[in-house]
Amino acid sequence: MTPIEFINKRNGDWQRLESLLDQLENRMDFFSQAGQWIEFARLYRAVSTDLSLSDVYRLSTGSREYLQDLVGRSHSVLYSFSRSRLRNLATYLSHFIPRRVFADVYVWICQIAFFGTFFISGYISWQTPDFAVSVVGESMIEQIQEMHLDRNDHSPADKIAASAWYVFNNGSIDLQTFILGILGGIGSLVSVLFNGIFIGAIIGYLLSGPAAANITCWITGHAVFELYAIGLSAGAGLRIGYAFIAANGRSRLLALQEEARNAVPIIGIAVTLTILAGFIEAWLGPMPCGSGWSRIWLVKLAVMSLSLFFVISYFYILGFLRYRAESLRPK
């Protein structure tokens, strides 16, 4: 094979790698651009082989320098973590994540389904406690009420252990809700409806009885993050499951791969919120609020207010602004 024939045969991969490098050097969408990184790795190996064969095919000095530049840039992209990438990470968190969550119709469906059933079930149980007994079971609802009738603060060691337990327990609900989405998306939807009714029934029942003050004090700090994470997890599961049914012209395997990449940032946010809620629940939950506007009660209200402010401002206000800016950008 002559040098010209070798260059003509391999030039397509060289140009494609150069194009990918221009994109990857200036972006950090690891989740949304997973396919580009897979292609980049393949082209990096291929061009490195071409460079090692440049002497065999007697390539010109200019061609060898071009290949050396591609390999050097590829090495830097793959192994370095420069300040620009830290800036790109900030852009990813402040632009991509809120826009993705806000624009995800599956998240909207699951959040409305969860909080709708949660508040309806809670109100019915608050007005008619027998409804909660029929949903949860008499023995279980009595155990839960007894547990919340007498609350005492715990030692730091107990709180550390409780943090792990709450993260595991709440995370298992999120994971179950997400995984059930593989059943055509119906599993996630059924799970989120069940959890909305079940959790709402428990809270409504406790608010109607002698444990009302204690349960209000207990859930005030962490409830926002914990409950919102359930809807996010269900939305991610619904997206993947529905893609298996409605592939929109794609193969089912390709549809699952693409929608899984879109769901990863959402489930990642859900996991983060669940972990934060677990630590807040373990450290703030057991602290007794006392009577009146005590200092602990004000702290819990402040944490709840900040959590609610974060969810609304980050996922909805900022998400809307990023989504609107993206939709107005020239294609």
Q: Cα(83)–Cα(74) distance, rounded to whole angstroms?
A: 17
Does residue 272 share a domain with residue 142? Answer: yes
Which of 52, 80, 108 terminates a domain? The answer is: 80
Closest by CA position to 107, among listed 249, 287, 330, 311: 311
**Tens digit of pLDDT for each residue in 146-184?**
887 766 655 666 666 666 777 777 888 888 899 898 888
pLDDT class of 326 with cuts at 50, 70, 90? confident
287 falls within a domain = yes
89 falls within a domain = no
Does residue 200 share a domain with residue 131? Answer: yes
Does residue 135 share a domain with residue 75? Answer: no
Single-letter amino acid, residue 264: V
88 falls within a domain = no
Does residue 124 share a domain with residue 167? Answer: yes
Does residue 16 share a domain with residue 121? Answer: no
* This prediction's pTM: 0.73
**The pLDDT value given to residue 31:** 45
18 falls within a domain = yes
**The pLDDT value given to residue 226:** 93
The SS3 call for residue 32 is coil
Does residue 166 share a domain with residue 55? Answer: no
Residue 189 pLDDT > 80, yes or no?
yes
Does residue 156 share a domain with residue 194? Answer: yes
Q: Cα(22)–Cα(166) distance, rounded to whole angstroms?
A: 44
Give the structural domain span for 7.
Answer: 3-80
How many Cα neighbours within 13 Å face the side chain of 132?
Answer: 29
**Tens digit of pLDDT for each residue in 190-224?**
999 999 999 999 999 999 988 898 889 888 989 99
**The pLDDT value given to residue 32:** 44
Tokens of 84: 């620009």
Q: Cα(269)–Cα(271) distance, rounded to whole angstroms?
A: 5
